[in-house]
């Protein structure tokens, strides 16, 4: 994720470390849209592998680890990853710096659960399709991808960041054998929650 707004996010995290405002997307707890989804399925990891895209300070990653997943969390911002490691010193989560557009090849088809929350929409719209495809490629056979994003109606323009996703952009995650199982418009229509899964 080259150039702006990528540098902006590193600057926001660095500012927070210096005592300025916390990132507006960080609530200090796992995202409720993820928790509701997991609780509704009585989700348990059972030692399977999970990945959190754009993990920030790690609240979602720590939540999945508590459910029994061997969890990896990555973020483009090195300051965010350093802070996540510091905030969770006894964590079992593997926190790494990585770029969603240039992910390690060994991650392809590896993860039983991938959680993408608000990362793609933080990127310029011309990168959305490429980012969605790279995230989808991470899902293992019989694995699941959960996409959480704020909504935008087709044909509307927005000056970001963020650049909320349209329904067709959510559908871009359904690639290479990954099937769109369910799309919900939740939080009074302001959020997408999409569940995709891969066959054998």
| Domain-embedded: residue 142 | yes
| Domain-embedded: residue 115 | yes
| Domain-embedded: residue 11 | yes
| Domain-embedded: residue 60 | yes
Structure tokens at 117: 């929350």
Residue 190 — φ and ψ, nearest 5°?
-90, -10
Predicted pLDDT at 188:
97
pLDDT of the chain, 200 residues: tens digit per residue: 444 455 666 665 556 565 555 656 667 799 999 999 999 999 999 999 999 999 999 999 999 999 999 999 999 999 999 999 999 999 999 999 999 999 999 999 999 999 999 999 999 999 999 999 999 999 999 999 999 999 999 999 898 889 999 999 999 999 889 999 999 999 999 999 999 999 87
For tokens 């240039």, name the residue: 102
Separation between Cα atoms, residue 147 and residue 164, nearest integer Å = 12
Predicted pLDDT at 23:
59
| Domain-embedded: residue 15 | yes
Structure tokens at 177: 């054998």
Predicted pLDDT at 19:
59
| Domain-embedded: residue 96 | yes
| Domain-embedded: residue 97 | yes
Predicted pLDDT at 13:
56
| Domain-embedded: residue 1 | no
Separation between Cα atoms, residue 93 and residue 189, nearest integer Å = 32
For tokens 């704020």, name the residue: 150
Number of domains, the chain:
1
**Number of CB atoms found within 10 A of residue 16's CB:** 17
Q: Which domain holds residue 132?
A: 6-198
β-partners of residue 182 are: 195
Q: What is the CATH number of the domain that holds 159?
A: 3.40.50.150
């Amino acid at each position: 994720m080259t150039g702006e707004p990528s540098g902006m996010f590193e600057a926001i995290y660095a500012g927070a470390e210096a005592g300025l405002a916390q990132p507006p997307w960080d609530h200090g707890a796992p995202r409720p849209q993820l928790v509701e989804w997991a609780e509704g399925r009585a989700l348990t990891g059972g030692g399977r592998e999970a990945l959190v895209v754009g993990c920030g300070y790690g609240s979602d990653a720590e939540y999945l680890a508590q459910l029994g997943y061997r969890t990896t969390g990555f973020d483009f911002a090195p300051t965010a990853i350093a802070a996540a490691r510091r905030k969770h010193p006894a964590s079992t989560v593997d926190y790494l710096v990585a770029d969603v557009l240039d992910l390690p090849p060994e991650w392809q088809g590896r993860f039983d659960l991938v959680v993408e929350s608000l990362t793609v929409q933080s990127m310029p719209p011309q990168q959305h399709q490429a980012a969605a495809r790279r995230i989808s490629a991470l899902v293992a056979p019989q694995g699941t991808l959960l996409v959480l994003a704020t909504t935008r109606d087709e044909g509307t323009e927005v000056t970001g960041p963020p650049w909320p996703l349209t329904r067709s952009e959510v559908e871009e995650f359904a690639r290479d054998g990954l099937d769109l199982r369910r799309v919900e418009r939740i939080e009074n229509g302001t959020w997408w929650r999409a569940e995709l899964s891969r066959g054998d």
